[in-house]
């Protein structure tokens, strides 16, 4: 199957990724029932990004044109998918198929419905897709590995897969820089980076850097639009638990009834808590950002060169996780 057929296939299936599609709507309902973190709203958000970015024929062509792709390669790439946000392994599957290889996929136990449904739709459009993607309980007879998980699981991945060419991803998080010049609309956009997917993704902003005299009350006022996240019982339980810990430890913090802000130099915040740190000037801020190193996925701000506010959860095809070029790895 040549590259143009693959692009055409994904593009056609992208047209199916609408909430009005009854079969997809059933998948979203099953997904939410099985895993309450994956609400219909967030399933639809992810599918929308696939439709507009990942399955867009023009963008797929622009992306793949950067690489020397050998369609006769047909190596088998084992994929261990994460389950922290809905359908998070889509980019890896797409990369493997587009690079001329075959994806042997170990699904997360938290996310088992969408990818098999998608594969069936691809086969309807182009039958040769049946040989490009397979779903297995046990990985075997593969040539390389891409595995995504926590710092803890990464140690096991290194043990089991260290002898193969591999990409092994660990915990990362994202931060945002507030300059004090943002409009209310830009601060509202930043709320998407913080609250979408309940803060469970590596592209979620877990910490903000703010000017010394910045009034945090502005964030509580503008982000009241995201109050709906407290309707999720799992999220609300985390809020209650983390609020109790802060109170018991007499840790200074600000709160309303659905999230908290705590000033600290720490980076990885628990669910329902946003960390913040004040900075004096751009030079001290740059030093703080540089010290984060490999733990950093995105920097969101209205500064040039950073991810625009509100866009961390909407990556392009060429926005690689952990800044590792997956397609370069696969085509090499």
Instruction: Give the pLDDT confidence of 29-67 residue by residue, as tens digits.
Output: 999 999 999 999 999 999 999 999 999 999 999 999 999
Task: Look at residue 275 in the predicted model and tell me its pLDDT.
Answer: 98
Angstrom distance (rounded) from CA 116 to CA 173? 29
What's domain 3-171's superfamily in CATH?
Answer: Aldehyde Dehydrogenase; Chain A, domain 1 (3.40.605.10)
Instruction: Give the pLDDT confidence of 138-196 residue by residue, as tens digits.
Output: 999 999 999 999 989 999 999 999 999 999 999 999 999 999 999 999 999 999 999 99
> Which run of H or of E encompasses 78?
strand 76-80
Angstrom distance (rounded) from CA 223 to CA 331? 43
Task: Look at residue 3 in the predicted model and tell me its pLDDT.
Answer: 93
Q: Are 282 and 275 in contact (CB under 8 A)?
A: no
Instruction: Give the pLDDT confidence of 301-314 residue by residue, as tens digits.
Output: 998 889 999 999 99
First to last CA, the chain: 20
Angstrom distance (rounded) from CA 222 to CA 21? 34
Instruction: Give the pLDDT confidence of 199-258 residue by residue, as tens digits.
Output: 999 999 999 999 999 999 999 999 999 999 999 999 999 999 999 999 999 999 999 999
> Which run of H or of E encompasses 273?
strand 273-279
CATH topology of domain 173-300: Aldehyde Dehydrogenase; Chain A, domain 2 (3.40.309)
Nearest CA among 254, 306, 308 for reference residue 282:
306
Strands 260-263 and 144-148, how do they pair? unpaired
Instruction: Give the pLDDT confidence of 250-286 residue by residue, as tens digits.
Output: 999 999 999 999 999 999 999 999 999 999 999 999 9
Task: Look at residue 73 in the predicted model and tell me its pLDDT.
Answer: 67
Q: Are 88 and 116 in contact (CB under 8 A)?
A: no
Sequence ranges of the domains in the chain = 3-171, 173-300
């Amino acid at each position: 199957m040549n590259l143009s057929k693959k692009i055409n296939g994904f593009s056609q299936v992208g047209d199916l990724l609408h909430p009005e599609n009854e079969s997809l709507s059933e998948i979203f309902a099953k997904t939410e029932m099985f895993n309450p973190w994956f609400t219909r709203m967030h399933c639809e958000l992810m599918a929308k990004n696939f439709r507009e970015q990942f399955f867009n024929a023009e963008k797929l062509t622009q992306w793949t044109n950067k690489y020397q792709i050998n369609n006769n390669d047909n190596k088998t790439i084992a994929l261990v998918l994460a389950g922290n946000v809905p359908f998070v392994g889509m980019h890896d599957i797409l990369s493997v198929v587009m690079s001329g290889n075959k994806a042997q996929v170990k699904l997360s136990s938290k996310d088992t419905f969408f990818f098999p449904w998608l594969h069936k739709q691809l086969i309807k459009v182009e039958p040769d897709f049946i040989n490009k993607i397979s779903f297995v309980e046990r990985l075997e007879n593969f040539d390389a590995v891409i595995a995504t998980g926590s710092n803890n699981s990464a140690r096991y991945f290194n043990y089991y897969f260290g002898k193969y060419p591999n990409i092994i991803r660990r915990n990362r998080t994202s931060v945002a820089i507030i300059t004090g010049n943002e409009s209310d609309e830009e601060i509202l956009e930043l709320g998407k980076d913080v609250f979408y997917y309940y803060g469970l993704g590596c592209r979620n902003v877990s910490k903000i850097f703010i000017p010394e005299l910045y009034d945090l009350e502005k964030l509580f006022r503008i982000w009241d639009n995201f109050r709906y996240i407290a309707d999720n019982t799992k999220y609300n339980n985390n809020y209650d638990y983390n609020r109790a810990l802060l109170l018991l430890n007499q840790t200074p913090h600000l709160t309303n009834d659905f999230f908290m802000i705590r000033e600290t130099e720490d980076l990885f915040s628990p669910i329902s808590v946003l960390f913040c740190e004040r900075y004096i000037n751009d030079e001290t801020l740059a030093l703080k950002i540089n010290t984060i190193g490999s733990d950093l996925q995105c920097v969101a701000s209205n500064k040039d060169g950073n991810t625009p506010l509100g866009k961390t959860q909407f990556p392009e095809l060429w926005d690689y996780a952990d800044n590792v070029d997956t397609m370069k790895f696969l085509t090499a």
